[in-house]
Amino acid sequence: MDATFAALADPTRRAILARLASGEASVTELARPFDISLPAISRHLKVLEHAGLISRGRDAQWRPRTLRATPLKDAAGWLEEYRQFWEQSLDRLEEYLDDLQSKEPKQ
């Protein structure tokens, strides 16, 4: 879980996962939309691979990367435990706004 959340704490890595959501891709294809070097992309891919978020294809020439969603499922499961808290705070905001509205002078 540490490795998953650490891997997600970077916008380039999240964008790589978003790209892989539309299908497997080679390192060159993954690097294309980003204005960063191939070695920098490779480092990001290593972090994602270490977290089990991507895997490498067997094709020796192409080695396409594929999204592996199981760690995302575990992370979502952890966050789900807190759903009641964010729902509560939205409820409280709504109550507050209702309250403000009821105090407005009638036209």
Residues that bind a second copy (CB under 8 A): 1-6, 8-11, 14, 17-18, 21, 67-70, 72-73, 75-76, 78-83, 85-86, 88-89
N- to C-terminal Cα distance for the chain? 55
How many other CB atoms are there within 10 angstroms of residue 20's CB atom?
Answer: 21
Tell the smallest beta-carbon distance from residue 12 to a second copy (Å). Answer: 10
- Which one, 22 or 61, has the nearer CB to a second copy? 22
- Which one, 43 or 68, has the nearer CB to a second copy? 68
Coil, strand, or helix at residue 67? strand
Tell the smallest beta-carbon distance from residue 61 to a second copy (Å). Answer: 26
In whole angstroms, give the CA distance from residue 51 to residue 92: 37
CA 15 remoteness from chain centre: 8
Tell the smallest beta-carbon distance from residue 5 to a second copy (Å). Answer: 4
- Which one, 78 or 96, has the nearer CB to a second copy? 78
In the beta sheet, which residues pair with residue 66?
Answer: 55
Q: Which of 9, 25, 7 is nearest to 67 (CA)?
A: 25
- Which one, 22 or 102, has the nearer CB to a second copy? 22
